[in-house]
Amino acid sequence: MKPTILFLIGLPASGKSTIGKIIASQFNFCYLDKDVVCNTFTKQLLELKGHSPNDRECAFYSDVIMDLEYKTLLDIANDNIQIGKSVVLDAPFISYFSNVRYVEQLKETYDWKNVTTIVLQVHVDFPILKSRMIERSVDRDQWKLDNWDVYIKSVQEKQCLWENIKIVQFSNNNASISTQDIQYLFTV
């Protein structure tokens, strides 16, 4: 059976990690969370350049660090794919949504000819999102919470435009996720 790469996309605090861990556990996928993979070096790089370790809004982060984070995540995913292991990539990917060929370019770069690629886009209503963001109390969310209307407007303007890939939509407004919800995703 050929390996699968599941791009688990959505806003921070939408429930991607919970869903990703269920999928990884149920289907024996490798689970890669961009924050876990990259936050240690991201914080240090930001501090070395005189920024707060939680500042994801500065130009240094968006111009230098972000691409480094995603390259690191994808390189680790590729190592797993090369040994036949399916992977869940838990990351927002929002900054790459406008590139319609993004996934095709990754397939070319990593030579993923015999790999199934699926996108699971997690949605949640904005009041629920804000509540979850407050509840999780992560320092890097503070700017988003302090500038909620600006943040929401900016994310509403960014739609995933990726072509030639299966994109499954998943509403995560409920407090819990069932096994049936997850199994359904792979039959759509």
The pTM of this model reads 0.85
Tokens of 45: 């790089």
Tokens of 25: 């556990």
Tens of pLDDT, residues 145-187: 999 999 999 888 888 999 998 888 888 887 666 666 666 665 5
From residue 5, give the alpha-carbon distance in Å to each of 29, 49, 59, 66, 103. 9, 34, 30, 20, 10
Tell the burial category of 156 from Cβ atoms under 10 Å away from its Cβ (0-12, 13-18, 19+): exposed
Tens of pLDDT, residues 10-49: 888 888 888 999 999 989 999 999 999 999 999 999 999 9
CA distance 183 to 19: 11
Which whole number is the average pLDDT over 113-120? 93
State what percent of residues in the chain have pLDDT above 90. 68
CA-based Rg of the chain, rounded to a whole angstrom?
Answer: 16
* Spatial CB neighbours of 61, under 8 Å, sequence gap ≥ 6: 42, 46, 51, 55
**pLDDT score of 177:** 64
What rounded mean pLDDT belongs to the chain? Answer: 90
Tell me, what amino acid is at 75? D
**pLDDT score of 171:** 86
Tens of pLDDT, residues 37-92: 999 999 999 999 999 998 888 999 999 999 999 999 999 999 999 999 999 999 98
CA distance 135 to 176: 16
